Amino acid sequence: MKFLPAGVSQALARRALVVDKHSPQLLFGAGVVGMVGSTVLACRATLKLDEVLSKAEHDLQIARTLEHREYTEQDRSKDVSIIYVRTTGEIVKLYAPAIALGAASIAALAQSNNILNKRNAALGAAYAALDKGFAEYRQRVVEKYGEEEDRNFRYGSQKIEVIDEETGKKKKVVRVGLDEPSIYARFFDPLSTNWSKEPEYNLIFLKCQQNYANDLLKARGHVFLNEVYDMLGIPRSKAGAVVGWIVNDQGDNYIDFGIFTSPDDYAIRDFVNGREGSILLDFNVDGVIFNLIDTPTENISWQMNS
């Protein structure tokens, strides 16, 4: 491209990049079209197969019944062999285009799947590295400032004054902001198919689903976040397909919806006490587990929250 103008070379490079980006879809489409074309060619070859077989049968009949003093059995066997070889060649010639196109189509489909697998592995590795870095950053914040400040930094919070129902006195509590929740946090509200107008029912439902999720984790060894979303009637997410919980010696080994992790949280307290029907659930996911589900685990001590 050094002989081309810079604008032209850049345009060609951009086009090549776009083609490479969409190569899995292009290869898959080509593979599907090729398989259809291969089927059509095979059908057309089959229509001509009777003619080839009839000619072969006619030639074999002549070779087997021909009687002449100069025509020996050795000649007969040789002719029969020639007829079989010739017929096989004609059949191969008939079906060669269909076979070649079918093989190319299978190769295109396999290459499309291979590219997608490599991209998914690369995305999973990048996501795992990002998740690990964020977890290490939060751990340093916790070590220096404590868990409460970590939560405040993560979500944003403000101190407000509320009146204690028992004493009637004012006191300051920390109310966690809801403008920037965790990327995994979701509201359990009327948009959920399992939400009820009765706050007490919602609390009981969430407790039961949390216990069920923990039982599933203990029995199977892993649970994806999308599976928990399904339990709660919450739409799935792309991240939920690869992150979740797994039994190992580094994670929490339990699933927590974040309902009782901060008793001073004003919104959570209102929900638990039945004054609020909706709540922001913040799940304690272990991070990316898709590449860890085949890792054996032994001697894990369970920590099931109440």
Domain enclosing residue 110, as ranges: 6-122
Query: Is the pLDDT assigned to residue 210 strictly greater than 90?
Result: yes
Query: Is the pLDDT assigned to residue 14 strictly greater than 90?
Result: no
10 and 115 inside one domain: yes
Residue 160 lies in a domain: no
pLDDT tens digits, 213-251: 999 999 888 899 999 999 999 999 888 888 899 888 767
Query: Is the pLDDT assigned to residue 262 strictly greater than 60?
Result: no
20 and 117 inside one domain: yes
**Of the candidate ranges 1-5, 200-204, 215-219, the one whose mean pLDDT is the lowest:** 1-5
Taking the C-alpha atoms of residue 101 and residue 97, their distance in angstroms, rounded to an integer, is 6
pLDDT tens digits, 121-143: 777 777 777 777 877 888 888 88
pLDDT score at 299: 47
109 and 196 inside one domain: no
Taking the C-alpha atoms of residue 153 and residue 142, their distance in angstroms, rounded to an integer, is 10
274 and 185 inside one domain: yes
27 and 101 inside one domain: yes
187 and 116 inside one domain: no
Residue 154 lies in a domain: no
pLDDT score at 165: 63
Residue 135 lies in a domain: no
Residue 136 lies in a domain: no
Query: Is the pLDDT assigned to residue 257 strictly greater than 60?
Result: yes
Q: Determine the average pLDDT of the residues in 163-180.
A: 58
- Indicate the SS3 state at residue 70: coil
pLDDT tens digits, 190-199: 888 888 888 7
117 and 185 inside one domain: no
pLDDT score at 129: 79
pLDDT score at 36: 94
204 and 272 inside one domain: yes
Residue 237 lies in a domain: yes
86 by Cβ neighbours in 10 Å (0-12 / 13-18 / 19+) ranks as middle
Beta bridge partners of 281: 186
Residue 134 lies in a domain: no
pLDDT score at 304: 45
Residue 172 lies in a domain: no
11 and 113 inside one domain: yes
Structure-block tokens of residue 280: 């922001």
104 and 23 inside one domain: yes
| Confidence band, pLDDT 50/70/90 cuts, at residue 110 | very high
Residue pointed to by tokens 């949280």: 265
pLDDT score at 265: 55
Q: Which amino acid is at 299?
A: N
The whole model's pTM is what? 0.55
Q: Determine the average pLDDT of the residues in 261-289.
A: 71
For residue 270, CA distances in Å to 245, 257, 267 come to: 28, 16, 5
pLDDT score at 117: 85
Residue % of the chain over a pLDDT of 70: 74
pLDDT score at 178: 45
Q: Closest by alpha carbon to 131, among 294, 242, 217?
A: 242
For residue 106, CA distances in Å to 36, 111, 256 come to: 12, 8, 46
Structural domains in the chain (count):
2
| Confidence band, pLDDT 50/70/90 cuts, at residue 258 | confident
Averaged pLDDT score across all residues of the chain: 79
Structure-block tokens of residue 114: 């291979």
Q: Determine the average pLDDT of the residues in 265-269.
A: 60
Residue 147 lies in a domain: no
